[in-house]
Structure 1
Amino acid sequence: MYVVESKAGAIGCMILSLCCLGSWPAILTLLERRGRLPQHTFLDFTTANLLAAIVITFSLGENGKSTFRTPDFTTQLPQVWSLLLLDILDIKVNINLIGNMRNLQDNWPSVLLAVAGGVLLSVGNLATQYAFAFVGLSVTEVITASITVVIGTTLNYFLDDKINKADILFPGVGCFLIAVFLGAAVHASNAADVKAKLKSLPSEYKDGTQDFYSSIKNGEDNPEKDKTDVESQEKQAGKAKAGTAGFFVELENKRAIKVFGKSIMIGLFITLFEGICLSLFSPAFNLATNDQWSTLPKGVPKLVVYTAFFYFSVAGFLIALILNLIFLYRPMVGLAKPSLKKYVNNSKGRGWAVFAGFLCGFGNGLQFMGGQAAGYAAADSVQALPLVSTFWGIVLYRKSSKRTYAVLVSMLIMFVAAVAILMASSGHRK
């Protein structure tokens, strides 16, 4: 089993994890804005996420020497299932052998904690794609990541017996907390910019009584342009220019989730719920691998990272599969009603959704590997993923006001500071 032991190796895992976890949200946002239903996207995403976990556990989890206290993945996993099978069948042959196995691998409390972490992450990620539509990519990531760090990092700090440097760690947490308010300010400012631009459109477009595409062809995207100007009309005949009023209406016509005219409170509620779910999955995984609550019987080895990650990912896949199959036939927020057959036949964008799932799966695995070595509180620095997400999603703010840009830059500065400070607080688990 491959184990990250050095502080430098742990920080390397965190940086790679940050890049992976910061990129997949932008891909899901792109797919939704191109009209792919989130139920279809998430089924592909969560399947790829599980496959990534299987690749990690059967490769890195098998690489190296297996010992009694740190067994490799395949050594620890089958014995757990053997005990379950023996209990179900009520087999009482060879009592001594069964008793020894039970004493060595009776780690169901840790398994259940890993399962709980996987469920929390999966539900949080599921809520994420709906929050993107209502609140926006960058702002959703900022608010969610900040809630996650404030709650999750504090819990992990105490669970890890304070191996991280508190005088460095908590100023970093403070930076994330400030970023919550800056993120809300960015959203409010950008929403005001969009509202001002939409006032330039004729009333029939605002009310949704006329299709915007016809206005593009007729050169009505910008009412201030002279309709007799042939050159102007030719430029208007294609797609609307990014950042214009027409761009936002055209986007609304294409996207899967329609948000015009809907309350901002829907998006903020989803974002808050998502943040709470994502703030608890890392502490649950920490408990699963380190048994701080002493739930394991004496002499039973703790779950290694790869075994916990396998259970974590399987649980996340199963809950995502169940919820998405429900949403296929009972869609939320006014989405079209698809079906399993339509999902199978809808291959457009599937490759990107699968790629996003692999990025998320490998990002989570790297985060846990780094956290096991340097402390999960420091590993929560990967929740600075809005740095990467904002890089990919910055196009959403083009043509915004100087006020919006100023707040956006301030938000990014706070995240840069938070990442540097949290990584500097890394300790070393004995």
Structure 2
Amino acid sequence: MPVAVEDRGGGAVALMLASLFLLGTWPVLLTLLERRGRLPQHTYLDYSITNLLAAVLMAVAFGQARDSRPDFFTQLTQMQDNWPSVVIAMAGGLALSLGNLVSQYAWAFAGLSVTNVICSSMTVVLGTTINYFLDGRINRAKKLFPGVVCFLVAVFLGAAVHSSNAKDDEQKLSMKSADIELSSEFSDEAKLLPAPEESKNGSGGDYSASNEAKPGTAEFIIQVEERRSIKVFGSSKLLGLGLVFLAGACFSLFSPAINLATNDQWRALRKGVPHLVVYTAFFYFSVSCFVLGACLNVWLLYHPMAGVPASTAGAYARDWNGRHWALLAGLLCGFGNGFQFMGGQAAGYAAADAVQALPLVSTFWGVILFGEYRRSSRKTFLLLFSMLSMFIIAVAVLMASAGHRKGFDTNAKFIVTRLHRS
């Protein structure tokens, strides 16, 4: 039996935390594939399929009403009445899709941690402020806006971390270029991360620790560049930050769009027309996200950028190397977004933006899997620690600001058994 999360504690917070973990993990899988050399166009097309699948599964499984409100399937047949909300939801999906596409390249140019920090901070600073007023100020302003300020500080700290780390890498390469030259044998045999297919075939066992560069060294940086699909050497620092800020601007719009689509604060619907349930809005949101992402990446197959090789639809269909990770990333992102919207419908979308602390998760994976910030300067580590501290404070404050939506309806039903009671 579905459980309605009707307060600012219990189930709503649990869903926000689950969303935080899922949304912080899926970028890591896409970054892992890019660093293994898989074309980003192939990866994003796979990701888009399961991202849409997650929305369909949630709508079909959870969107059946248990009261007088229309369910998911009923609302699909009422587009002639609720089309204004449908358009708003689909606009949010377009913003998210464009942001995800841009961030896929930003991860390569600026790094996983810094990209997610700045994007998430912009999402909170802009999106949370919009959601606060759309939700009728149900969140506690005395706690909400100090949290927003912490995210804003994290934006500047994230930019400083990126700049400092880039200088560290330049110094490593300049010091090594004078007296270390990688042999062709080393370059050909060195591995950053053995691909799953190589491990299964046993070929990965031929590589010893002696021909694997240590994370944070100049050799490691060169190996990453040689193997990855998006080439970043020689690019401007401003290009990476420009991509990051563009992605952040897109991300700041999708949550307010879902808020408007489900609560109709602009009174776009005719009197008596039920609001979209959150599952229906999420479905239309994901459909537009899929369409834009698929169209743009099919075009990028034949007109690539950032040094990525050209490809074809046939080559994409035959590329099964790492496809399961891309498909899993789509599911994680889809369910993560769905849980965020559910928590927002129950406790306020401004408080639900606390899931934008996802860089805490991404940074953990980035350090463990990709060796980010290994052998960096003391200045870089100090900036990184300060940035993460701001996030920890911000997420706690934003969750504490959660309120209770007046006239709460059953838009936010979830099959998370007895979350509220437990």
Is the contact between residue 142 and residue 183 of structure 1 (CA under 8 Å) also seen in structure 2? yes
Q: Secondary structure at the match of 2:372?
A: helix
Q: CA RMSD in A?
A: 1.9
Shift of 1:276: 0.6
Distance change (3 Å), C-alpha of 1:291 and 1:2: farther
Match of 2:380 among 387, 392, 404: 404
Letter of the structure 2 residue corresponding to residue 61 of structure 1: G
Distance change (3 Å), C-alpha of 1:27 and 1:422: same
Match of 2:106 among 131, 140, 145: 131
Is the contact between residue 216 and residue 240 of structure 1 (CA under 8 Å) also seen in structure 2? no
Distance change (3 Å), C-alpha of 1:203 and 1:330: farther
1:61 aligns with 2:60: no
Q: Moved runs in structure 1, 4+ residues, more than 3 A?
A: 202-205, 210-219, 234-237
Is the contact between residue 47 and residue 329 of structure 2 (CA under 8 Å) also seen in structure 1? yes
Whose radius of gyration is greater, 1 or 2?
A: 1
Name the structure 2 match of 1:268: 241
Name the structure 1 match of 2:417: none
Distance change (3 Å), C-alpha of 1:236 and 1:362: closer
Unaligned 5+ residue runs, structure 1? 84-105, 220-233
Q: Deviations over 1:133-164 (max 9, x none)?
A: 00000000011111110000000000000000
Is the contact between residue 374 and residue 427 of structure 1 (CA under 8 Å) also seen in structure 2? yes
Name the structure 1 match of 2:5: 4
Name the structure 2 match of 1:79: 78
Is the contact between residue 163 and residue 237 of structure 2 (CA under 8 Å) also seen in structure 1? no
Distance change (3 Å), C-alpha of 1:397 and 1:60: same
Name the structure 2 match of 1:98: none
Alpha-carbon distance in structure 1 between the residues aligned to 2:234 and 2:107: 16
Unaligned 5+ residue runs, structure 2? 191-206, 407-422
Shift of 1:2: 5.8
Alpha-carbon distance in structure 2 between the residues aligned to 1:145 and 1:271: 10
Letter of the structure 2 residue corresponding to residue 294 of structure 1: R
Name the structure 2 match of 1:426: 402
Q: Secondary structure at the match of 1:107?
A: helix
Alpha-carbon distance in structure 2 between the residues aligned to 1:262 and 1:124: 21
Name the structure 2 match of 1:96: none
Shift of 1:401: 1.7
Q: Secondary structure at the match of 2:70?
A: coil
Distance change (3 Å), C-alpha of 1:58 and 1:235: closer
Alpha-carbon distance in structure 2 between the residues aligned to 1:10 and 1:34: 37
- Identity between Structure 1 and Structure 2 (%): 58
Match of 1:214 among 182, 185, 188: 185
1:254 aligns with 2:227: yes
Letter of the structure 2 residue corresponding to residue 384 of structure 1: A
1:382 aligns with 2:355: yes
Alpha-carbon distance in structure 2 between the residues aligned to 1:316 and 1:217: 39
Is the contact between residue 114 and residue 285 of structure 1 (CA under 8 Å) also seen in structure 2? yes
Shift of 1:123: 0.7
Match of 1:146 among 92, 111, 121: 121
Q: Secondary structure at the match of 2:397?
A: helix
Please show how residues 226-245 of structure 1 align to structure 2 within 5 Å.
Answer: 237-245=210-218
Name the structure 2 match of 1:16: 18
Is the contact between residue 212 and residue 250 of structure 1 (CA under 8 Å) also seen in structure 2? no
Alpha-carbon distance in structure 2 between the residues aligned to 1:217 and 1:371: 50
Shift of 1:334: 2.1
Distance change (3 Å), C-alpha of 1:145 and 1:218: closer
Letter of the structure 2 residue corresponding to residue 167 of structure 1: K
Name the structure 1 match of 2:324: 351
Is the contact between residue 212 and residue 253 of structure 1 (CA under 8 Å) also seen in structure 2? no
Q: Secondary structure at the match of 2:270?
A: coil
Shift of 1:9: 1.4
Q: Secondary structure at the match of 1:303?
A: coil
Match of 2:274 among 301, 312, 323: 301
Letter of the structure 2 residue corresponding to residue 421 of structure 1: V
Shift of 1:202: 3.2
Alpha-carbon distance in structure 2 between the residues aligned to 1:6 and 1:150: 24
Is the contact between residue 124 and residue 277 of structure 1 (CA under 8 Å) also seen in structure 2? yes
Name the structure 1 match of 2:52: 50
Shift of 1:236: 7.6
Name the structure 1 match of 2:416: none
Alpha-carbon distance in structure 2 between the residues aligned to 1:256 and 1:263: 18
Is the contact between residue 7 and residue 403 of structure 2 (CA under 8 Å) also seen in structure 1? no
Name the structure 2 match of 1:201: 176
Alpha-carbon distance in structure 2 between the residues aligned to 1:212 and 1:14: 49
Letter of the structure 1 residue corresponding to residue 173 of structure 2: L
TM-score by length of 1: 0.86
Letter of the structure 2 residue corresponding to residue 341 of structure 1: G
Is the contact between residue 29 and residue 325 of structure 2 (CA under 8 Å) also seen in structure 1? yes
Alpha-carbon distance in structure 2 between the residues aligned to 1:133 and 1:218: 23
Q: Deviations over 1:115-134 (max 9, x none)?
A: 00011001101111100000
Alpha-carbon distance in structure 2 between the residues aligned to 1:162 and 1:357: 33
Is the contact between residue 186 and residue 211 of structure 2 (CA under 8 Å) also seen in structure 1? no
Alpha-carbon distance in structure 2 between the residues aligned to 1:216 and 1:130: 25
Alpha-carbon distance in structure 2 between the residues aligned to 1:150 and 1:9: 25
Shift of 1:3: 3.8
Is the contact between residue 2 and residue 60 of structure 1 (CA under 8 Å) also seen in structure 2? no
Distance change (3 Å), C-alpha of 1:112 and 1:198: same
Name the structure 1 match of 2:343: 370
Alpha-carbon distance in structure 1 between the residues aligned to 2:136 and 2:247: 27
Please show how residues 156-195 of structure 1 align to structure 2 within 5 Å.
Answer: 156-195=131-170
